[in-house]
Every structure is written in structure tokens, then in C-alpha cells.
């Protein structure tokens, strides 16, 4: 029973379902008589003060800047593990996903920029349709069970990780405000301490790293660089090697954070950010440049960019197509990459809402941008699932093959 519960907590399909339900709940509440309580909840002032240090933000920004830093901490841990122990440690395994990720970033951004080139404020959202939601995409793939070839799962996972790395770089260099030198110096000092703890002192206890990581988060928050990047840096500096008898600090922390992030933080983030008021937002709003650019970028840009670049790399001999999955299955996965959802909502909040930019004439707020994210992600997810379901081996066929293998083994004995 305990192992079943543990497996459920780490199942990406469970996290994907919860994120989807949280988004639906947010939409329902925002468009009901309860919306006043929903907005009051998100705007609840939360103040933390220690001496002269004071952080005062509405609850929404604590979720987006604080809790999402924990999500990015998990991303940092996964990136480090993949670079040193996983798929990203083998250059031959990286070429195809890197090429696919480049196409999945360039084409959606190009579509968005082409549709919004006349609006400088709107252009700040060019990165919104470039993101892939790992939890959602892998969750949809997990719904197909053992029918999915291992090579196909690894391709999607590696591409999504590279996509996240690109999103981190974009956030670091594009979505930063005026920099505060004093806070940056404190952040730099915290990073030096973390490096010394890992490399020179060989400290294995997680508590010390989390304490210094908290200092790093506050300093980055005050510096003008987006605070979630502190989570990535901390994740990269957690020791990968541990004592021979125990899991390393990185593996231990990653294992503990998975259910917290997948079942708690990401659904809460979705609930806080997906509440789009449909008042004044008819279907015609989807034809406005920002939501249309986002929706088309996620749905068309992602699938064409990922599949097109991968196909070109294989045809030209730059990379080999891994054995174990077909072109149709590869296209289905490319379509799943258009599920931007969590990361797209996050980048949208940086590009539009926190800056207070008015991006669409006639629209009440940046909610229409979120409408583009939801529509593009939902269509990509549904059609990607259908295409994979049609192109993957049928369960009966799979069971028959397994029985034939078992009979062959028994005859051999």
C-alpha cells in the first residue's frame, strides 16, 4: 500500500490532472458570483519583516515569486542530475532533442512576433508560446501507459528539460527590471558560500543549503533579477554525491520535492493564474494579435518547429532517428510540446501583468493573453493525445507480443 501511494505521488499523470482541475476551478470561480472572494484571496497582503528587511507582496506574487522558486529549485536539481548522470550526460542523446527544442522555440516566437510587430508592448510577450509544460506533457503521455516506447518518453523528457533551460535563460536576460548592485553583491556572496559548502567543506546536510538559499532568494528578489532564478542556482549547487550508504543530498531533496511541487505548488499556481474573466472576452478576442499569436505559436509553431527541425536533422544526417518509435509517434510528441500551460502562464505574468502593460486594445486586461495560452495548450494536448493513441501499438497487440515472447522463452528452457 505504501509503495502504491508513493508511486501515485510521483506519477506525472496525477500532477497533470490536478493542474488541469485547478485551472478549470479558477476559470469557474472567476466567472461566478464568487469571483470577488477569488480576487480578494489573490490580493491578500502578506508581509514578512525581520528588522529593517521587509517584503510586502500580495499573495499572488508570493505564489509566483516564492513558491515557484521551489519549482525552479526542483528544475535545477533535475538539470544537474541529467547533465551528470542522465540523458544529457551522453552527447549522442542530446543532439536530436536540442535541435527539436531550437525549432520549438524559434517558430512559435517567429509566429508571435509576426502577428504583433506593430505593438511594442505586445512584443514583450514573444517568449510566452515558446515554453513546454513538463508536468502536463508527461502527464498526458503517462495516460497512454506502457504502450509508449521508452525512447519516445526519453525524447520528450530531454526536449522539455532543454526547453526549461532555455526558459530560465530567457527569464534571466529578458524579464529583469532595474538592477540593484548592493543586492546583487549579497546574492553573489551567498553563491560563493554555497560553492564553498559543496566543494571545500563537503557539507552534506540539506538544511544549511536551504538556509543560504533563502538568503540568496531574498537578495535576488531585491536585486531586480527574477527571484525564481535563485531556485535554479541553489539546485545546481546541491551536492550530487553523498555517502555510500545514503542517497546524495540532491537525490534526497529531489525525491522529497516531487510530490510537494507536482501535487501542491503547480496546482496552486494554476489556480492563482488561470482565472480568466470571460466578461467582454468573446471568441472574437482570440483573433486579436496577442492571444492569436500565443495560441498559434503553441499549437502550430511548436509542432511544426519541433517536428520540422528534427526531421531536417535526421534527413541531413546530423542525427539519427532513435529506434523504437515511428514518425507518427514523433509528430504526436511534437504536438504535446505545444502544451505550454504552467511555464507559459508564468512567463506571461512576467511579460504583461506585473508590468501593467496594456497589450490589447479593447481587452480589459492581460486575461486575453491567458486565454490564448489555455486554448493553444488544450488543443495541443487533446490532439496530441489522440494522434499518439492512434499511432501507438494497440493494447491487444502489445499483450499478444508479450505472450509470444513468453512462449518462446519457455520453449527455449
Which residue matches cell numbers 502527464?
139
- Can you tell me the distance from the alpha carbon of 166 to that of 157, in angstroms, rounded to the nearest whole number? 14
Whole-number pLDDT of residue 124? 87
Nine-digit cell at 306? 519541433
CA nearest 162: which of 204, 222, 103, 242? 103
The pLDDT score that the predictor gives to residue 287 is 84
Distance, in Å, from the CA atom of 207 to the CA atom of 377, rounded to the nearest integer, reads 38
Phi, psi torsion values for 392, nearest 5 degrees:
-80, 155
Give yes or no for a contact between 69 and 228, defined as CB atoms under 8 angstroms apart. Answer: yes
The confidence score (pLDDT) of residue 281 equals 63
At 163, list the grid cell.
526547453
The whole-angstrom separation of Cα 216 and Cα 211 is 9
Give the residue carrying C-alpha cell 470571460: 278
Class of the CATH-defined domain 12-67+92-170+267-393: mainly alpha
Query: Scanning the structure block, which residue is given the C-alpha cell 559543496?
Result: 198
Average confidence (pLDDT) per 10 residues, the chain, 413 residues? 52 78 91 92 91 88 91 89 80 86 96 91 90 82 82 85 84 78 93 94 92 95 86 93 81 91 90 80 78 95 96 90 84 94 85 53 57 91 93 67 49 47
Q: How far is CA 196 from the centre of its chain?
A: 30
Domains of the chain: which residue ranges? Answer: 12-67+92-170+267-393
Whole-structure pTM value: 0.78
Give the C-alpha separation, 354 to 192, whole Å: 31
pLDDT of residue 389: 92
* Grid cell digits, residue 216: 540568496
78 CB contacts (<8 Å, ≥6 apart)? 161, 235, 254
The pLDDT, as a whole number, for residue 353 is: 62
Amino acid at each position: 500500500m505504501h509503495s502504491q501511494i508513493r508511486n501515485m505521488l510521483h506519477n506525472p499523470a496525477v500532477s497533470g490532472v490536478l493542474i488541469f482541475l485547478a485551472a478549470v476551478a479558477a476559470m469557474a470561480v472567476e466567472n461566478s458570483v464568487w469571483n470577488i472572494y477569488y480576487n480578494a484571496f489573490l490580493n491578500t497582503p502578506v508581509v514578512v519583516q525581520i528588522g529593517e528587511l521587509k517584503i510586502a507582496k500580495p499573495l499572488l506574487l508570493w505564489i509566483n515569486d516564492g513558491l515557484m522558486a521551489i519549482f525552479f529549485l526542483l528544475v535545477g536539481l533535475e538539470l544537474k542530475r541529467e547533465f551528470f548522470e542522465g540523458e544529457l550526460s551522453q552527447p549522442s542523446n542530446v543532439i536530436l532533442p536540442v535541435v527539436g527544442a531550437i525549432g520549438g522555440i524559434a517558430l512559435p516566437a517567429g509566429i508571435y512576433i509576426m502577428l504583433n510587430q506593430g505593438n511594442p508592448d505586445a512584443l514583450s510577450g514573444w517568449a510566452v508560446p515558446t515554453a513546454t509544460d513538463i508536468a502536463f506533457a508527461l502527464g498526458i503521455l503517462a495516460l497512454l501507459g506502457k504502450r509508449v516506447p521508452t525512447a519516445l518518453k526519453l525524447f520528450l523528457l530531454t526536449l522539455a528539460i532543454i526547453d526549461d533551460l532555455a526558459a530560465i535563460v530567457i527569464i534571466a536576460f529578458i524579464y529583469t527590471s532595474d538592477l540593484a548592485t548592493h543586492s546583487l553583491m549579497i546574492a553573489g556572496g551567498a553563491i560563493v558560500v554555497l560553492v564553498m559548502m559543496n566543494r571545500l567543506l563537503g557539507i552534506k546536510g540539506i538544511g544549511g543549503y536551504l538556509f543560504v538559499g533563502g538568503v540568496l532568494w531574498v537578495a535576488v528578489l531585491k536585486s531586480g533579477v527574477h527571484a525564481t532564478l535563485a531556485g535554479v542556482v541553489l539546485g545546481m549547487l546541491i551536492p550530487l554525491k553523498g555517502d555510500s550508504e545514503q542517497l546524495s543530498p540532491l537525490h534526497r531533496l529531489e525525491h522529497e520535492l516531487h510530490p510537494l511541487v507536482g501535487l501542491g505548488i503547480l496546482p496552486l499556481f494554476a489556480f492563482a493564474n488561470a482565472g480568466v474573466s470571460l466578461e467582454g472576452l468573446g471568441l472574437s478576442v482570440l483573433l486579436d494579435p496577442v492571444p492569436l499569436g500565443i495560441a498559434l505559436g503553441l499549437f502550430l509553431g511548436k509542432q511544426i518547429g519541433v517536428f520540422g527541425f528534427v526531421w531536417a536533422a535526421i534527413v541531413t544526417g546530423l542525427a539519427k532517428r532513435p529506434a523504437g518509435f515511428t514518425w507518427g509517434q514523433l509528430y504526436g510528441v511534437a504536438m504535446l510540446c505545444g502544451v505550454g500551460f504552467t511555464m507559459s502562464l508564468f512567463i506571461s505574468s512576467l511579460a504583461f501583468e506585473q508590468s501593467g502593460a496594456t497589450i490589447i486594445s479593447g481587452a480589459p486586461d492581460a486575461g486575453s493573453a491567458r486565454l490564448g495560452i489555455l486554448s493553444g495548450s488544450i488543443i495541443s494536448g487533446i490532439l496530441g493525445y489522440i494522434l499518439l493513441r492512434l499511432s501507438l501499438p494497440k493494447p491487444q497487440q502489445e499483450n499478444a507480443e508479450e505472450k509470444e515472447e513468453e512462449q518462446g522463452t519457455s520453449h527455449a528452457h
